Structure 1
Amino acid sequence: MPIPAVRPLNPLAFAIACVVALPAAAQTRETDGATRLDAVIVTGTRAVDRTVLESTSPVDVLDAEDLRRAGAVNGELGSALQALLPSFNIPRQSNSGGADHIRAAQLRGLSPDQVLVLVNGKRRHVSALVTTGSKVGRGNTPVDFNAIPLSAIKRIEVLRDGAGAQYGADAVAGVINIILDDAGDGGAFEASYGAHHTKLEPIDRTLTDGQSASFAAKVGTALGDAGFLRVGLEYKALSPTNRAGFDQIPPWDRTPRNLELQGRRNYQLGNGAARDINGWLNTEIALGTTTTFYAFGTYAQRDTEGANYFRYPDGEANWPEVYPDGFRPVSIGENLDVAGVAGVRTQWGDWDVDASLNHGRNAFTYRLRDSINASLGPSSPTRFKTGDYAFDQTLANVDVSRLFAQGDTLHTVAAGVEFRVETYETGAGDPASYAAGPFTGRPTGSQAGGGLTPQDAADLDRDVASVYASVSSGFGDALSTDAAVRYERYSDFGGEVTGKLAARYAFAPAFALRGALSKNFRAPSLGQIGFESTGTGYNAAGQLIQSRLLSVNNPIARALGATDLTPEQSINASLGFTSRIGEKFDVSLDLFQIDIDDRVALSEAITSDALTAYIDSAFGVPGVESVSVFTNAADTQTRGAEAVANWRHPLAGGQLLLTGTWSYAETEIKRVVATPAQLTAVVPDAVLFGVEERNTLTDAAPRTRSAFSAHWNDDRWNLLARVTRHGSTRRVFNFGGGFEPEQVYGAKWQLDAEAEVRLGERWALAIGGQNLTDAYADRSNDDIFYFGNLPYDVLSGIGSSGAYYYTRLRYSF
């Protein structure tokens, strides 16, 4: 059944007279009498007394209030982080296969699988679905940020630096540590409702859609003198948006019957429908004077819908007896995500000991409705299950640490061991989803994604063992250092040694320099090693083809020159300064360079009649028109800079915080993998890694994002606004025959604002809006907008849904 829509509500017309704001760097807003610059951080160092400005690497701290306001559109953590962190990018996909259901996030312009996510300092598992249809995050198995309830979070610490030696593989771009709410009493109930209200220029209409509703509740209680139990529940429902234009009908589909649909909106472009149920808990129980038991976990069940290209009534993919007016398949994602950690913290002499068990699982079932397997004829089903995917991660680790004091010098020595088991499984779809029926000349398999065949199914596992040691030192008030080394051994890739050195020196009371150098690595995910799929869909030029994504172990891939994947290797270097002048002003600037060798990516889709004939004759597999594989595609260098400045001042009986932030990251390709001779022997003009996939790594994501913000509050009012500048992006297609259209989408400005008033001691009411100027990305040009149907690209950070208005009611106790 379709996901129930949220009932429409006419948005409130309002204007909030606030100056601009970006909570991303509201990392310094005053809370409980202390700025977060003075807050002790736990990410990026083993020292127990470091603050934000005292860290040897840049760390952003976001509190629950920042996240609650920034996630106003749909209550999603990913959306909140994009609003708050200039270096974080999580575009909303459309017509992008699995990426319509699981959004992939970038840090510092790198791939989504190059950022490590922790919850309460423990490694988070990744998703089971390989996102092969997206642009940003193509070929990745990212962490699903939106499976973590927003209301569960106390704060988030974002380490913008390589940290593989400290936390293990994957921490190439940085580490995002999500720290759960640990209050021992009180709670809150919160409900919100909102909708998009926008003028859609391509069709010259004003639309109200994308209605969203959410409810969250949490409560805590003390357990003994030092323990607590905190639990919560969330429910979210999101209706779709549609920003498609009027269909001009592709030239190859212009039959008399199809032309009757010209000028209609046959496609969908925008947010898909979604429904989420989330639960979480966080607890600690004292077991004597020196021992504490702790446990925490999250549960998420999300049902989502995604858009696909329209199939015209007069075409080989359709039977008019089934769909007389054509059809647009709808993908359905059933996403179950669970995670749990239990452990004990105790003391062994002068050593602090932390031992824990950690298990995470993501299970994804992919379905289609309003589809058909044309080769089965008019009796084909119209609903299909196309595959099951599951990823499990289980960890056991023991960490020990101790503080040594020598006069004014303090050393925190830490060491630990970890053993991790990963498993990855995929299961076949319904037989009708991949069957080759009796009607030859018709596409086989369900439209908009053929089902996994039994031959496509994967069952992989591996073990990872690691040991590390680190020293965090403070040499008086001026100099602090961090050093770490780790040895990590994969059962399928062997061992790797990583290391990091970082230091901060305060050469004057108000100024300090900091810098870091680290070696990091990332092993290919099990999904990238074992995932295969077979499908019938539309290529970049909009033409219907049968395609296969082959694992590197597949005999066809081997015959075409595929080789075993190897781990990515990186060297990270950074240099920055921080300054704090009195209690009113602070600023930081950090420069970085990240060199990555052997980046894992999907190849171009290789398409050729000669390829089709070769696969048929050599392997007895007919009709394969396109093939792609994973490969160690390129060596890259990413250079960038990030700046944060804050100014605070009493104003009108309250406190005003002004913040400016800026981030820049540019990736350059230094080397590209050669096209195998085995492939060029079959397809002479084949390019394994060409313009489209180079574009994915270099400039499909914004290179810059900047913002200026203001937040004012007193005992009754909270006024917030932010202006964000999303930098330009670039899209490149390869339509074959040397036709490679491209377009640069210019930078765009976005205005958000919110006003919240306290209604007594317990109630608070807020109204607000995001993208209040109803700004859109540049419209795609005639070569890219697919004959009027897709006027906006998904790459721009401003999205393609227009202005959004909301209200929120909160009761706290």
Structure 2
Amino acid sequence: MKSSSVALLGAAAFAAVPALVQAADAPAAESADGDIQQIIVTGTRAKDRTVLDSAVPVDVITAQDLQAAGSVNGELGQALQVLLPSFSFPRQSNSGGADHVRAAQLRGLSPDQVLVLINGKRWHTSALVNDSSKIGRGTAPVDFNSIPINAVKRIEVLRDGAGAQYGSDAIAGVINVVLDDGADGGELAASYGLYHTREDAIDKTITDGQNVYSGAKIGTRLGDDGGFLRAGAEYKHRNPTNRAGYDHADFLIDESNPAWGQRNYAMGDGAARDVNLWFNGSLPVAIGEVYSFATYNHRNTTGYNFFRYNDEAPDVYPDGFLPQSLGENQDLGATAGLRGRIGTPWSYDFSVTHGRNQFDAGVRHTLNESLGTDSPKQFDTGTFELRQTTANLDFTRDLPIGARRFLLAFGGEYRYENYRTSPGDAASYAGTGAVGGGGLRPSDTANLDRNEGAFYLDLSGDIADRLFVEGAARYEHYDDAGGKLTGKLSGRYEFARQIALRGAVSNSFRAPSLAQVGFQSTTSNFGEGGTLNDIRVLSVNDPIARALGARRLDPETARNFSLGISGQLTEQFDYSLDVFHIDVDQRITLSTRIGDEDGHLEQYIEDNFGVAGVQYVNFFTNAADTRTDGAELVLNYHQQLYGGRFGFSTAYTYNRNKVRSTEPTPAELQAIIPGIGDDALVGVEERNTLTDASPRDRLVVSSDWRNAKWSLLGRLTRQGETTRVFDFGGGFHPTQTYGARWQLDAEVEYRITPQLALALGGDNLTDNYPERSNADINYGGNLPYDVLSPLGSNGAYYYERLTYSF
């Protein structure tokens, strides 16, 4: 989409007059207490709750925090991982779609179990399903890196189930991105960084991954009654990194093979180029206030695939070849709305939000073997598109009950979603298909839509001098997944300023995404005997999947419990400690790779459906019930020191996931594959994904000091241990637990003039790496580091940043 299209969309949004309450209007109390006095708008309908007196845990991340943490190419997701121990955003490689759209976790749960809002509005997800990744496998996550980091005023992270307040997806919590609403001035920013590291797997010093970021934003007033328009743009460019080892695969035998001892594979970040545009505005009118906002992202990315040796295409690639996946991602979200008052007691909000994500997939440096030497070497392999339109109507009023006043809120929502896929070019799927990413066949494509309606009721207030209580109920109905009634009760009792008890109990749900219902693809991964196999992901609606026992996907249901204490011991020191328990039933997962060495499945599919060469399949299921228990601690201290403000904070999170039960192998599969066993749907790899593939705990300790001229920042992060389990068939399940790792970040910023600032900094200054993978897992030394650790495998990163404010 051209930038002019976004401008026209913004103008049309103001003229259309629809919308919802813009979260950026929340006031902030001026106080030395800093963020704890910020009035929050996430997790409660009450209008006077701050971080410390909230009944549920909420983190507030400011634009200044993001600037210091988002140093790697201006990635919003990476910045949130740096700042929030509960948020994990691993850098995956050789992972299919996850090389292009990274998935984030909150509280160790699935990426699609966290709801993302922008200015209080439900935001859309990616259209691409991560079918080959470890973290986020089988999910179509929200693409955090499509949200411009310079558009953010603050981010509120609700760490609690909130289905009764916000609807589907809010099992782990809610992340609300509040956009910059400055009516005056602007900012220009530019940064440059690179990785400079000693990779012990090849015993060499490497400099790569150069990152360029530039951003600009400006605001202006509209009229004399508080109207404004704020707009900005970003450009980001990232060079690739490579941390592959030398190839000593067993089947190469010795040094006589030309591939022996070479760096044939690649692992790390692929190349990426982003353009982001955004605006946020408001205009008072006679009947209230019109407001609108939008974000747009266009990104081109490359990813890595597995190396193919010279026996696969000796006439075209005599020395072997390394396919690269390609992605062109276009993401647009826009909201327009009208809010105001009806008489004295009532406030209203009407809003319409439209979101669209389109991902065009491709592969290059490859071929279609069945086409011989005439085969192209680059292919378009398919298009995935999601459209979502949501309309909200909300009402609030103060409600006197006895001598006390409460806030009553109620409203409704209508949402329409459409998911469609288009085939790749004919050469990408003809015969054996393109190596490293066979294209979507016309028979693989989908065009699904659905309607959703919801109604909610919320009542909150102080029922006693020190006791705040909030109750919410919501009924939501999908025309393809049925209806669900959810409720939540939360409260906070303040014994004294120094200590308060808070807690919540709720139930939530998540409807299966249309992408999970309709997605189909063919990928390659390591399977039986550690060899590469083609794996076909089947939609649950596909006749082959139905014959194998696939069933219609039902919504996930969850029960959330939390209990905590919080308080302010002195003017300088505050704390919170919360424990939580989450049960999820009928969790939607992508099944284990299903197939057998003897070819029973392949023969069955060919005999009954006329489709040859399908050795292994996956399909989505509701086959697992899980439990998550955890605790989160936050400590903050600040005081005036040496003519500046000194701050110190500690945040720690712990979560333990377990699989409570699984569904048995369908009878249809047991009849087709002799001895398949009873765990074909949720095998050892998928259990590992659901339980301990993500860090069990994380600790972030940071300190900063700033005055009118200088800003100093230091941050120490401990990434907890992770475990990787593979299933290579025949009962061979190589397993490795990777130990915890520490990361040290630091930054110094000098304000040359009141408007101009220069910063120098580094991430992972001690150049730490994850523990090396063992010989059973590292694919002959080619992939020496696993992708599980949030530390990543890129090594030390250094950067400089120049900012001019006006």
Superposition TM-score tier, normalisation by shorter sequence: over 0.9
Residue 708 of structure 2 corresponds to residue 715 of structure 1: yes
Scaled by the length of structure 1, what TM-score is found?
0.93
Q: Note the 1:415-494 alignment, pairs <5 A.
A: 415-436=410-431, 444-475=432-463, 477-494=465-482
Q: Partners of 2:565 and 2:541 in 1: how far apart?
A: 48
Q: CA deviation at 1:533?
A: 1.4
Q: CA deviation at 1:249?
A: 2.9
Tell me the alpha carbon deviations over residues 637-670 of structure 1, each in whole angstroms, 9 at most, x when there is no partner: 1000000011112211111111111101111111
Number of residue equivalences: 772
In structure 2, the residue matched to 1:282 is 280
Q: Partners of 1:31 and 1:193 in 2: how far apart?
A: 34
In structure 2, the residue matched to 1:261 is 259
In structure 1, the residue matched to 2:169 is 170
In structure 1, the residue matched to 2:545 is 557
Instruction: Calculate the aligned-residue CA RMSD, in Å.
Output: 1.4
Please state whether the residue corresponding to 1:36 is helix, strand or coil. Answer: helix
Please state whether the residue corresponding to 1:775 is helix, strand or coil. Answer: coil
Aligned pair partner of 2:604 in 614, 627, 636 = 614
Tell me the alpha carbon deviations over residues 175-224 of structure 1, each in whole angstroms, 9 at most, x when there is no partner: 00000000000100000000000000011000000000000000000111
In structure 2, the residue matched to 1:440 is none
Q: CA deviation at 1:36?
A: 0.9
Q: CA deviation at 1:389?
A: 0.4
Please state whether the residue corresponding to 1:417 is helix, strand or coil. Answer: strand
Q: Note the 1:244-393 alignment, pairs <5 A.
A: 244-251=244-251, 253-254=252-253, 259-288=257-286, 291-313=288-310, 315=311, 317-318=312-313, 320-349=314-343, 350-393=345-388
Q: CA deviation at 1:607?
A: 2.0
Tell me the alpha carbon deviations over residues 478-511 of structure 1, each in whole angstroms, 9 at most, x when there is no partner: 1111110000000001111011000000012321
Aligned pair partner of 2:516 in 509, 528, 552 = 528
In structure 1, the residue matched to 2:72 is 73
Q: Partners of 2:538 and 2:175 in 1: how far apart?
A: 32
In structure 1, the residue matched to 2:6 is none
Aligned pair partner of 1:403 in 398, 401, 406 = 398
Please state whether the residue corresponding to 1:790 is helix, strand or coil. Answer: coil
Residue 160 of structure 2 corresponds to residue 153 of structure 1: no
8 A contact 1:297–1:339 mirrored in 2: yes
Q: CA deviation at 1:553?
A: 1.6
Q: Partners of 1:704 and 1:538 in 2: how far apart?
A: 29
Task: Report sequence identity in percent.
Answer: 55
Q: Partners of 1:655 and 1:630 in 2: how far apart?
A: 52
Which amino acid is 1:342 matched to?
Answer: A
Which amino acid is 2:706 matched to?
Answer: N
8 A contact 1:448–1:537 mirrored in 2: no
Q: Partners of 2:158 and 2:403 in 1: how far apart?
A: 27
Aligned pair partner of 2:671 in 677, 681, 693 = 681
Q: Partners of 1:382 and 1:31 in 2: how far apart?
A: 61
In structure 2, the residue matched to 1:223 is 222
Q: CA deviation at 1:584?
A: 1.0
In structure 1, the residue matched to 2:580 is 592
Which amino acid is 1:671 matched to?
Answer: S
In structure 2, the residue matched to 1:20 is none
Q: Partners of 2:607 and 2:508 in 1: how far apart?
A: 44
Tell me whether 540-549 or 122-131 shows the greater mean CA deviation.
Answer: 540-549
Aligned pair partner of 1:701 in 691, 694, 697 = 694
Please state whether the residue corresponding to 2:44 is helix, strand or coil. Answer: coil
Q: CA deviation at 1:544?
A: 2.9
8 A contact 1:30–1:36 mirrored in 2: no
Which amino acid is 2:303 matched to?
Answer: G
Residue 222 of structure 2 corresponds to residue 208 of structure 1: no
Tell me the alpha carbon deviations over residues 262-302 of structure 1, each in whole angstroms, 9 at most, x when there is no partner: 111111010111000000000000003x6000000000000
Q: Partners of 2:455 and 2:536 in 1: how far apart?
A: 40
Query: Kindly tell me: are residues 586 and 535 of structure 1, through their superposed partners in 2, closer, same or farther at Cα, counting changes over 3 Å?
Result: closer
Q: Partners of 2:797 and 2:227 in 1: how far apart?
A: 41
Q: Partners of 1:348 and 1:591 in 2: how far apart?
A: 41
Q: Partners of 1:749 and 1:420 in 2: how far apart?
A: 44
Q: Partners of 1:217 and 1:648 in 2: how far apart?
A: 31
Residue 236 of structure 2 corresponds to residue 236 of structure 1: yes
Q: Which runs of 5+ in 2 are unaligned?
A: 1-27
Please state whether the residue corresponding to 1:284 is helix, strand or coil. Answer: strand
In structure 2, the residue matched to 1:5 is none
Q: Partners of 1:684 and 1:625 in 2: how far apart?
A: 15
Which amino acid is 1:245 matched to?
Answer: G
Q: Partners of 2:173 and 2:789 in 1: how far apart?
A: 23
Please state whether the residue corresponding to 2:671 is helix, strand or coil. Answer: helix
In structure 1, the residue matched to 2:23 is none
Query: Kindly tell me: are residues 353 and 385 of structure 1, through their superposed partners in 2, closer, same or farther at Cα, counting changes over 3 Å?
Result: same
Which amino acid is 1:660 matched to?
Answer: T
Which amino acid is 2:142 matched to?
Answer: V
Query: Kindly tell me: are residues 539 and 735 of structure 1, through their superposed partners in 2, closer, same or farther at Cα, counting changes over 3 Å?
Result: closer
Q: CA deviation at 1:683?
A: 1.2
Please state whether the residue corresponding to 1:482 is helix, strand or coil. Answer: strand
In structure 2, the residue matched to 1:26 is none
In structure 2, the residue matched to 1:774 is 767
Please state whether the residue corresponding to 1:68 is helix, strand or coil. Answer: helix
Q: CA deviation at 1:410?
A: 2.7
In structure 2, the residue matched to 1:17 is none
Please state whether the residue corresponding to 1:557 is helix, strand or coil. Answer: helix
Please state whether the residue corresponding to 1:166 is helix, strand or coil. Answer: helix
Query: Kindly tell me: are residues 504 and 30 of structure 1, through their superposed partners in 2, closer, same or farther at Cα, counting changes over 3 Å?
Result: closer
In structure 2, the residue matched to 1:394 is 389
Q: CA deviation at 1:547?
A: 2.2
Please state whether the residue corresponding to 2:218 is helix, strand or coil. Answer: strand
Q: Partners of 2:31 and 2:330 in 1: how far apart?
A: 37
8 A contact 2:349–2:393 mirrored in 1: yes
8 A contact 1:413–1:471 mirrored in 2: yes
Tell me the alpha carbon deviations over residues 118-140 of structure 1, each in whole angstroms, 9 at most, x when there is no partner: 00000000100011010000000
Q: Partners of 1:561 and 1:808 in 2: how far apart?
A: 55
8 A contact 2:160–2:172 mirrored in 1: yes
Q: Partners of 1:255 and 1:709 in 2: how far apart?
A: 50
8 A contact 1:451–1:535 mirrored in 2: no
Residue 669 of structure 2 corresponds to residue 662 of structure 1: no
- Give runs of ≥4 in structure 1 deviating > 6 Å: 29-32
Tell me the alpha carbon deviations over residues 521-550 of structure 1, each in whole angstroms, 9 at most, x when there is no partner: 001100111111134554475423232111
Q: Partners of 2:30 and 2:528 in 1: how far apart?
A: 50
In structure 2, the residue matched to 1:759 is 752
Q: Partners of 2:668 and 2:651 in 1: how far apart?
A: 50
8 A contact 1:540–1:733 mirrored in 2: no
Q: CA deviation at 1:409?
A: 2.6
8 A contact 1:373–1:381 mirrored in 2: yes
Q: Partners of 2:188 and 2:786 in 1: how far apart?
A: 37
Q: Partners of 2:210 and 2:31 in 1: how far apart?
A: 35
In structure 2, the residue matched to 1:195 is 194
In structure 2, the residue matched to 1:441 is none
Q: Partners of 1:200 and 1:344 in 2: how far apart?
A: 56
In structure 1, the residue matched to 2:730 is 737
In structure 2, the residue matched to 1:547 is 535
Q: Partners of 2:526 and 2:735 in 1: how far apart?
A: 19
Query: Kindly tell me: are residues 336 and 250 of structure 1, through their superposed partners in 2, closer, same or farther at Cα, counting changes over 3 Å?
Result: farther
8 A contact 2:96–2:132 mirrored in 1: yes
Tell me the alpha carbon deviations over residues 73-119 of structure 1, each in whole angstroms, 9 at most, x when there is no partner: 11010000000110000101100000100000000000000000000
Q: CA deviation at 1:32?
A: 7.3
Q: Which runs of 5+ in 1 are unaligned?
A: 1-28, 437-443
Q: Partners of 1:219 and 1:32 in 2: how far apart?
A: 27
